[in-house]
Amino acid sequence: MQAAPKDSQPQLFRRRPKIKILFAFSIEAAEKLGYVYGSELKDKKAIEQMNEVADLMISVGNRSFRNSHIHFELGKTKVVIASYISEKNLMTHEHYLDFNMTGMLKQLPGTRNKNDKKIIYRFKEFYLLEQSRIALKADVVVLIITAKYHFNENECGSSFDGKKGINRDTAYMVVRLPCMINKENLDFNYHLGHLIGASDSVNSGGFSKEDEFFYGHGYIQNKHKPYWRTIMTRAEDCPSCTVINYWSNPLVEVNEIPTGIYRTNNNALLWRVHGRKLVRVYEEFDKNRGKPPVLLLQRPVKNNYISTQN
């Protein structure tokens, strides 16, 4: 049996590693916040609101780290109005008849050619987004959409599973704007946890001590009222629980009750072991510093289904 790494507590007097995040708003999400293309006054006001949304997510994320004694920090590179990304145009294109949030997520990184390390994109929208990421040296890309044209409007977001790798090809998430403007909603933190391989509670499956991520589950406290659950858990596993802005950590207590179990429910330890991989995502773009990956479009793009406003 694989032993869990020791010591969930951070080294308090060292500089906190910072995860640099790019927040990109689709044209529909930007319009929800008052963006009008060509209107300088409304454009400025909308950008202020977008920054407020991004700052709220950063604040909620950093608060969770402080609550759980996790030695990491989130930082915002920039808020981008990705006016070239139109949810409506993507949904109505012939290749997107069955498009959904997860489908969009899978297209974001493009496809890496293992022979020459070039990254190939089928769609100009995501090619342009990646250029912004490289220019801003962001580790993680968060695409904010309305999901108006998606089938499951109750879904708050989608992200890659870090168990399959924590690198440039997986450091993406797609989230819905309505979920992100509510400070009580912790879905942003939840999907951030997935990026480093964190899982739902043990009761929801995925528990194997042979797995290097086996201790990275969320924690449900349903023995003593009031009941609560930590970030990496699902509401259906404890409908009577209130979700709290804590990562599972057996060394941190809420109302004198530990928020985790050392060998199974220890997101704090998972951050300590795997979190630095997320911090180094941009550095790993290419082993030679200062040399970004080559981005290529796979085929000519038809201008009749994308917006190229900048």
Beta-sheet strand order (sheet of 220-221):
220-221, 228-229, 242-243
Least-confidence region, from 70-74, 161-165, 285-289: 285-289
Identify which has the larger pLDDT, 164 or 99: 164
| Cα radius of gyration (the chain) | 20
Q: How confident is the model at residue 285 (pLDDT cuts 50, 70, 90)?
A: low
Residue-level pLDDT at 307: 31
pLDDT at 165: 92
Strands 172-176, 140-145: parallel, antiparallel or unpaired by DSSP?
A: parallel
Per DSSP, 4 falls in state P
32-36, 101-105, 142-146, 299-303: segment of lowest average pLDDT:
299-303
Q: What is the pTM assigned to this prediction? A: 0.86
Which pLDDT does position 183 carry in this prediction? 77
Q: 3-state class of 187 per DSSP?
A: helix
**139-196 pLDDT, tens per residue?**
999 999 987 766 566 678 899 999 989 998 999 999 999 988 887 889 999 999 999 9
CA quadruple 120, 121, 124, 130: dihedral sign: negative
Separation between Cα atoms, residue 152 and residue 35, nearest integer Å: 25
DSSP for 108-164, written as a single string: TT-EE-TTT--EEES-HHHHHHHHHHHHHT-SEEEEEE--TTSS-TT--EEE--GGG
In this structure, which topology does domain 18-288 adopt according to CATH? Collagenase (Catalytic Domain) (3.40.390)
How would residue 305 be classed by pLDDT, with cut points 50, 70 and 90? very low
pLDDT digits (tens, 9 = 90+) for 9-52: 444 446 789 999 999 999 999 999 988 876 666 678 889 999 99
Evaluate whether 91 touches 265 at the Cβ level (below 8 Å): no
| CB-CB contact of 139 with 72 (8 Å) | no
Question: pLDDT band at 211, cuts 50/70/90?
Answer: low
Question: Which of 64, 75, 67 has the alpha carbon at shortest distance from 16?
Answer: 75
pLDDT at 82: 86
Query: Looking up tokens 């968060």, which residue turns up?
Result: 142
Q: Which residue would you say has higher pLDDT here, 118 or 116?
A: 118
Predicted confidence (pLDDT) at residue 7 exceeds the cutoff of 50: no
Q: What percent of the chain has a predicted confidence (pLDDT) above 90?
A: 50
pLDDT of residue 93: 57
